[in-house]
């Protein structure tokens, strides 16, 4: 056996998130069943991190133990022949035995997409549709408070294991209008559950004039899971890339 690293993309609309569920279908379950078809035995898949229900990915990374005699390219072809069309394997490669999709990751990039186009019935699964334009410069000012190394407890799920570290580093946040879309991009060492959506929701509240840019700083410094009442809709969120290397 050897370690296979696979990069995959998926439309999260029809799934209850990445993780296997007892009463719903997670993407992990679909991928593991496809590998079971190939290997004729159960095969565990580990991802760089979970994505929640309705969240999408262009660059999720997984690893699993491949079988001798099946090369990585064969895995890509075979999996894409079995998986539903809304889950695609973009690449497969052989990795050193100590590679781990989650623990070897050095950083991640997420994108959050909003749209001003309320008339398009085809985008509601893929973008957060806004009513009216927002103040981008105010949001950019507010986003600066989120950069750097901080305890992001205020922008995290209430359900996170208390033993899990809340300190992360965000190196880059961009906010740009592209035709009818408003696009946020976040790059950092890692993110807590709901962190991107809660930060985006708070920034949108700034853009709508509901709170001042400085309110973001106050939320962050509170380090209180009740400090941020905002959580942007899941369907606008995309895991774009997972970074590895030294």
Tell me: pLDDT of 33 over 90. yes
Confidence of residue 246 (pLDDT cuts 50, 70, 90): low
- Tell me if 2-95 shares its fold with 107-243: yes
pLDDT of residue 204: 98
| Higher per-residue confidence, 245 vs 185 | 185
Q: Does domain 2-95 have CATH number 3.30.70.580?
A: yes
pLDDT of residue 163: 72
Is 151 catalytic? The answer is no
Q: Does domain 107-243 have CATH number 3.30.750.24?
A: no
Mean pLDDT of the chain: 95
pLDDT of residue 98: 95
pLDDT of residue 161: 67
Residues constituting the chain? 246
Q: Which two tokens stand for residue 187?
A: 């790059």
Contacts of 201-204 with CB under 8 Å at 24 or more apart are: 201/228, 201/230, 201/231, 201/232, 202/142, 202/155, 202/228, 202/230, 203/139, 203/142, 203/143, 203/175, 204/114, 204/130, 204/134, 204/139, 204/230, 204/232
The percentage of residues in the chain with a pLDDT greater than 70, rounded to a whole number, is 98
pLDDT tens digits along 136-155? 999 999 999 999 999 999 99
The structural domains of the chain, with segments of one domain joined by +, span: 2-95, 107-243
Our CA angle for 103, 92, 87, nearest 5°, is 90
pLDDT tens digits along 45-89? 999 999 999 999 999 999 999 999 999 999 999 999 999 999 999
The mean per-residue pLDDT over the stretch 194-205 comes to 97
pLDDT tens digits along 101-124? 999 999 999 999 999 999 999 999
pLDDT of residue 160: 67
Tell me: pLDDT of 190 over 70. yes
pLDDT of residue 245: 79
Q: How many CB atoms lie within 10 A of CB 193?
A: 18
Pick the catalytic residue: 52, 71, 135, 181? 52
């Amino acid at each position: 056996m050897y370690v296979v690293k696979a990069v995959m993309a998926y439309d999260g609309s029809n799934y209850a998130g990445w993780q296997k569920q007892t009463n719903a279908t997670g993407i992990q379950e679909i991928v593991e069943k496809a590998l079971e078809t190939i290997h004729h035995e159960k095969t565990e898949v580990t991802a760089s991190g979970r994505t929640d229900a309705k969240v999408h990915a262009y660059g999720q990374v997984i690893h699993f133990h491949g079988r001798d005699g099946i090369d990585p390219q064969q895995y890509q072809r075979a999996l894409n022949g079995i998986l539903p069309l809304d889950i695609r394997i973009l690449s497969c490669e052989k990795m050193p035995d100590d590679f781990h999709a989650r623990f070897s990751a050095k950083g991640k990039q997420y994108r959050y997409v909003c749209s001003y186009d309320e008339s398009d019935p085809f985008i509601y699964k893929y973008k957060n549709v806004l009513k009216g334009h927002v103040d981008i410069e105010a949001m950019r000012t507010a986003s600066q408070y989120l950069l750097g190394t901080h305890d992001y407890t205020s922008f995290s799920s209430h359900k996170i294991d208390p033993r899990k570290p809340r300190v992360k580093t965000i190196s880059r946040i961009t906010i740009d209008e592209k035709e009818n879309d408003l696009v946020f991009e976040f790059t950092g060492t890692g993110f807590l559950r709901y962190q991107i959506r809660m930060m985006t929701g708070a920034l949108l509240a700034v853009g709508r004039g509901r709170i001042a840019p400085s309110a973001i700083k106050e939320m962050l410094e509170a380090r209180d899971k009740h400090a941020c009442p905002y959580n942007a809709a899941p369907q606008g969120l995309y895991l774009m890339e997972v970074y590895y290397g030294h």
